[in-house]
Chains A and B, each alone.
Chain A
Amino acid sequence: NAGVTQTPKFRVLKTGQSMTLLCAQDMNHEYMYWYRQDPGMGLRLIHYSVGEGTTAKGEVPDGYNVSRLKKQNFLLGLESAAPSQTSVYFCASSSDRRNTEAFFGQGTRLTVV
């Protein structure tokens, strides 16, 4: 049981390049999330999804797009990377039951130069 898997783990981009981060979960969870964490800061929600085919904006959505074509996958896209998007990105998933918990991936460290 892998839980939540993020791909890639590390990436360096040049300003203006695009890339897609993949999050996969094998727990049949309805909810999935993308967060970013800057040094010494807490996690900030970028986008989230409450089910296959649905997405919604979080706290800091600008510069990012997401897609949830399959229930187990949640993709985060950067169309034109900027140095301000240098961060560690975490994906998480949870069920839609009450009194539930979220499971996180190991993170993707992205540097934009």
Chain B
Amino acid sequence: LAKTTQPISMDSYEGQEVNITCSHNNIATNDYITWYQQFPSQGPRFIIQGYKTKVTNEVASLFIPADRKSSTLSLPRVSLSDTAVYYCLVGDIGSGANNLFFGTGTRLTVIP
């Protein structure tokens, strides 16, 4: 499994763009990069997934450089409801269920 490193916590004011970077130097060729969001007292929820370059959906964007050794989750114009823990996962759970490995995540606090 590729180990991931992400900041423990981040603070941001409402309305700002937030970028959370995850390092995964040992990413394998078949690995995907997936981000989950977890609110207090809830299970994690899938946000976005990518393999290379840029992926965008209605919630976030995911930027992956050519070497794929890192990735950046971008949340545009955050609101108080975006306060949560964000997890970066690297692997392909379709090829092995033990690839769904969570670290400690990044605790994002949005300030009014």
Residues on A lying within 8 angstroms of B by beta carbon are: 4, 31, 33, 35, 41-45, 48-50, 56, 58, 88, 90, 92, 94-107
The answer to whether B98 and A58 touch across the interface, beta carbons within 8 angstroms, is yes
The answer to whether B32 and A99 touch across the interface, beta carbons within 8 angstroms, is yes
Q: Tell me, in angstroms, the Cα distance from A4 to B104 when the chains sit together.
A: 23
Measured between beta carbons, the chain A residues less than 8 angstroms from B66 are: none
Measured between beta carbons, the chain A residues less than 8 angstroms from B93 are: 31, 94, 100, 102
The answer to whether B102 and A42 touch across the interface, beta carbons within 8 angstroms, is yes
The answer to whether B44 and A43 touch across the interface, beta carbons within 8 angstroms, is yes
Does chain A have a CB within 8 A of B97?
A: yes
Interface of A is mostly: strand
Q: Tell me the minimal C-beta distance from A1 to chain B in angstroms.
A: 15
Measured between beta carbons, the chain A residues less than 8 angstroms from B101 are: 45
Measured between beta carbons, the chain A residues less than 8 angstroms from B51 are: 99
Q: Tell me the minimal C-beta distance from A47 to chain B in angstroms.
A: 10
B interface residues, tally (CB under 8 Å): 25
Q: Tell me, in angstroms, the Cα distance from A95 to B100 when the chains sit together.
A: 12
Q: Tell me the minimal C-beta distance from B105 to chain A in angstroms.
A: 6
**Known pairs A99-B51, A106-B42 / 8 extra A-B pairs, C-beta < 8 Å:** A31-B97, A45-B100, A48-B98, A50-B97, A94-B93, A99-B92, A102-B44, A106-B43
Closest to B85 in A: A42
Pick the residue among A58, A98, A105, A106 that contacts B92 (CB under 8 A). A98
Asked whether A96 and B100 contact (CB < 8 A) given A43-B44, A90-B43, A102-B46, the answer is: no
Q: Tell me, in angstroms, the Cα distance from A103 to B45 when the chains sit together.
A: 7
Q: Tell me, in angstroms, the Cα distance from A106 to B102 when the chains sit together.
A: 17
